[in-house]
């Protein structure tokens, strides 16, 4: 995938803070006037959101076998890639996804212990050449993850798993980051939200320098009331 239009994914276990960080990055890009699209997995399309409901909350999901789960995640992904992600990137719109294929490698491959070759093949079938330019993994221990899951939102099927499951998830993300250091950056997700956002932004501008230039010129505009009035973002 050409790095001219970045495709960025966020990963990590439950409670790692990625959804907050995705929102913060979106706000930052908006303030810089960068065209972008936010999406998530599973979901992001009408078909994908129906699959999400089945995977996470539908009572029928209770007896789901790991193989069925794997195929449903891949089905949601193959639709999202073709309906949303590729067309956006082709139009020069940056895509930010809350989870993508690394989640399947980690959750269904490592944590559910399905064959890694099968997971790799199905991931490849679903994404084709649509591989992220940058993946941010927010690393949190299972205790922190568990504590952050204790909030009033609807608990999903995956959140019923024991701590060992989340330890496998964490280990697998760390291994992936070691295996693919050019694409995957591991960031400590236990730190304060602002510090995490700053670290993410530093990583992003080091990878996509044109955003650093936009950021500098918007800082100058903010320091200079006249240009701020001309460009009131
Ligand atoms: P989240 O969007 O709130 O993080 O929830 C998505 C859940 O689905 C989370 O438990 C991780 C899980 N998941 C997988 O197990 N495999 C996948 O491929 C994806 C995208 C998510």
Does residue 230 sit within a domain? no
CB of 104 closer than 6 angstroms to any ligand 1 atom = yes
Does residue 229 sit within a domain? no
57-75: pLDDT as tens digits: 999 888 999 999 999 999 9
CB contact at 8 A, 169 and 107: yes
> Which residue(s) pair with 12 in the sheet?
138
Both tokens assigned to 9: 């994914």
Does residue 127 sit within a domain? yes
Does residue 2 sit within a domain? no
Whether the pLDDT of residue 232 is over 60: the answer is no
**Distance in Å, CA 216 to ligand 1 centroid:** 36
Q: In what order do the strands lie in the sheet with 94-98?
A: 36-40, 94-98, 7-12, 134-139, 184-188
Pocket-testing residue among 80, 99, 106, ligand 1, by greatest number of atoms within 8 A of Cβ: 99
Side-chain-facing half-sphere of 60: CA atoms under 13 Å: 7
For the chain, give the percent of residues with pLDDT over 90. Answer: 76
Pocket-testing residue among 40, 158, 170, ligand 1, by greatest number of atoms within 8 A of Cβ: 158
Q: Is 227 exposed, middle or buried (0-12, 13-18, 19+ CB in 10 A)?
A: middle
Separation of alpha carbons 153 and 31, rounded Å:
29
Separation of alpha carbons 224 and 72, rounded Å:
52
18-28: pLDDT as tens digits: 999 999 999 99
Question: With bands split at pLDDT 50, 70 and 90, how would you rate the model's confidence at 221?
Answer: low
Residue 77 structural domain: 7-221
Look at the pTM and tell me if it is higher than 0.85: yes
Does residue 176 sit within a domain? yes
**Distance in Å, CA 41 to ligand 1 centroid:** 7
Alpha carbon nearest to ligand 1 atom 7, residue: 158
DSSP state of 45: S
CB of 10 closer than 6 angstroms to any ligand 1 atom = no
DSSP state of 135: E
C-alpha dist (Å) from residue 91 to 26, 39, 75, 100, 117: 18, 16, 24, 20, 33
71-97: pLDDT as tens digits: 999 999 999 999 999 999 999 999 999
Both tokens assigned to 142: 């299972």
Does residue 231 sit within a domain? no
CB of 42 closer than 6 angstroms to any ligand 1 atom = yes
For the chain, what is the total number of helices (H) and then of strands (E)? 11, 5
* pLDDT at res. 149: 77
CB contact at 8 A, 133 and 112: no
* CATH at 144: 3.40.50.300
Does residue 227 sit within a domain? no
Alpha carbon nearest to ligand 1 atom 10, residue: 158
Does residue 115 sit within a domain? yes
- How many domains, the chain? 1
Separation of alpha carbons 161 and 113, rounded Å:
14
Alpha carbon 24 to chain centroid distance? 13
Pocket-testing residue among 42, 100, 104, ligand 1, by greatest number of atoms within 8 A of Cβ: 42
33-60: pLDDT as tens digits: 999 999 999 999 999 999 999 999 999 8
Question: With bands split at pLDDT 50, 70 and 90, how would you rate the model's confidence at 152?
Answer: low
């Amino acid at each position: 995938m050409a790095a001219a239009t970045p495709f960025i994914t966020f990963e990590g276990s439950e409670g790692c803070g990625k959804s907050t960080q995705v929102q913060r990055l979106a706000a930052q890009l908006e303030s810089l006037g960068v065209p972008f699209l936010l999406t998530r997995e599973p979901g992001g399309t009408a078909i994908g959101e129906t699959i999400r409901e089945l995977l996470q909350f539908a009572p029928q999901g209770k007896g789901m076998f790991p193989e069925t789960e794997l195929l449903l995640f891949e089905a949601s992904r193959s639709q999202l890639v073709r309906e949303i992600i590729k067309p956006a990137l082709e139009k020069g719109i940056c895509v930010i996804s809350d989870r993508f294929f690394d989640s399947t490698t980690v959750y269904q491959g490592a944590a559910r212990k399905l064959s890694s070759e099968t997971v790799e093949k199905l991931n490849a079938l679903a994404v084709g050449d649509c591989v992220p330019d940058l993946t941010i993994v927010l690393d949190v221990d299972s205790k922190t993850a568990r504590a952050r899951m204790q909030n009033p939102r609807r608990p999903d099927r995956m959140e019923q798993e024991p701590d060992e499951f989340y330890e496998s998830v964490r280990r697998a993300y760390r291994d992936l980051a070691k295996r693919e250091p050019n694409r995957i950056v591991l960031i400590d997700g236990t730190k304060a939200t602002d510090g995490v956002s700053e670290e993410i932004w530093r990583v992003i501008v080091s990878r996509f320098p044109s955003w650093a230039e936009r950021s500098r010129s918007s800082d100058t505009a903010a320091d200079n009331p006249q240009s701020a009035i001309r460009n009131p973002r």
